Structure 1
Amino acid sequence: MTFVLVAMVLGGFAGVTLTERLADASFLSAVIPEDGRGSLVIGGIGLGALTGILLPLILLGLFRGTSKTTRLRPPEAWLKLLGLLFFDVYLLVVTVVVAQLGWALPEGLTRLISVFAIGFSWIPLAVIPWEKFGLTSSIRKQFTRRSKTHGSHEPD
């Protein structure tokens, strides 16, 4: 638990550093307004912390299993890592889009709006029926198989 929390905090710092460097020394430097840099910090915290918390959990899932949960197989782990990468890119795009409000709004208001916009940007991804695309977790598949074999429709 301590390892995962430390990885989350360090990931948040790394995400802030990454997004600020994107605004300073990359092609995004001309696109990001000065009053929108706070949005990049907020998005960097979310991006880095999410990666910092999920990456160790996915890697630990490859090597550790319990009697209730099995270890992740490599294809499942790659799929989860690919999903994490997709979500990180999605969050970075949302961060850059929200930072554009800095052209029209003052810095404080831009930061306030970006907290809500970036913080709730995951909701459209949460309502997508991932089961229709075959992207369910193995735990959910095992649970539904076990329920059908035991004849119980209630969770354990």
Structure 2
Amino acid sequence: MSAGSGPGRPEARSPQHSKAQIAAFAAGVIGILATMTLGAFAGVFLMTSLANNSGLSNAVPEDGRNSLVIGGIGAGGLTGLLIPLILAGLVKGTEEKPRLRPTEAFTNVLALIGFDVYLLAISVIVAQFGRILPEGLTVLLSVFAIGFSWMPLALIPWERFGITITGVRRGPDSTPDSHKSD
């Protein structure tokens, strides 16, 4: 006997999405990609302006300026990605994933700014290798140092401090492995 739908069994239907839902999702994805790209460009502009026209220009060697560009891409792109998600968390929510409260959103934005400052400080520190290494090796080192410097921060349980990236809060009685019984 087959496991397919028979005379006594209902047919399994795949969920259908309306054209409006698909268009809204596509607009959201395009909007997120646009803010992420514009944030990366803004980060690069900020860091190159700091490296050329401020007191930071004397602290960064010529062969290390690309490290600042890499840090600006990371910080700006991350900010451009997460700010719309935090704002969406303020507006949209369900019973399983409640909306963010304004204080939680403010805490998330402060944490994001702190992480951006951390990335920019790492990029200035790595740029100092431009004093002893050629530009190509400094860029290679920058990509790895800036790209992987956040990994120790990822191991910290930020939820204990009230910081959630996705806006998903868990209640005090729920655990990650708990399932609702049917």
Match for residue 168 of structure 2 among 139, 144, 147: 139
Bigger Rg, which one: 2
Give the distance between the partners of 1:153 and 1:14, measured in 2 at CA: 40
Deviation string 1:19-42 (CA, Å, 9 cap, x unpaired) is: 000101111000010000111111
Give the distance between the partners of 1:12 and 1:29, measured in 2 at CA: 21
Give 1:103 shift. Answer: 0.5
One-letter amino acid matched to 2:69: V
- TM-score w.r.t. length of structure 1: 0.88
Query: Structure 1 residues 36, 129: CA separation in 2 closer, same or farther (over 3 Å shift)?
Result: same
Deviation string 1:96-127 (CA, Å, 9 cap, x unpaired) is: 00000000000000000000000001012112
Give 1:145 shift. Answer: 2.2
Query: Structure 1 residues 61, 131: CA separation in 2 closer, same or farther (over 3 Å shift)?
Result: closer
Matched, 1:47 2:75: yes
State the partner residue of 2:21.
none
Give 1:71 shift. Answer: 1.2
- TM-score w.r.t. length of structure 2: 0.76
Matched, 1:74 2:140: no
State the partner residue of 1:26.
54
Give the distance between the partners of 1:136 and 1:51, measured in 2 at CA: 15
In the alignment, structure 1 segments of 5+ residues that lack a partner are none
Q: CA RMSD in A?
A: 1.9
Alignment coverage as a number of residue pairs: 150
Deviation string 1:28-77 (CA, Å, 9 cap, x unpaired) is: 00001000011111111001000000011111111122343211110000
One-letter amino acid matched to 1:30: N
Percent of pairs with identical residues: 55
Give 1:153 shift. Answer: 4.1
Give the distance between the partners of 1:12 and 1:65, measured in 2 at CA: 28
One-letter amino acid matched to 1:64: K
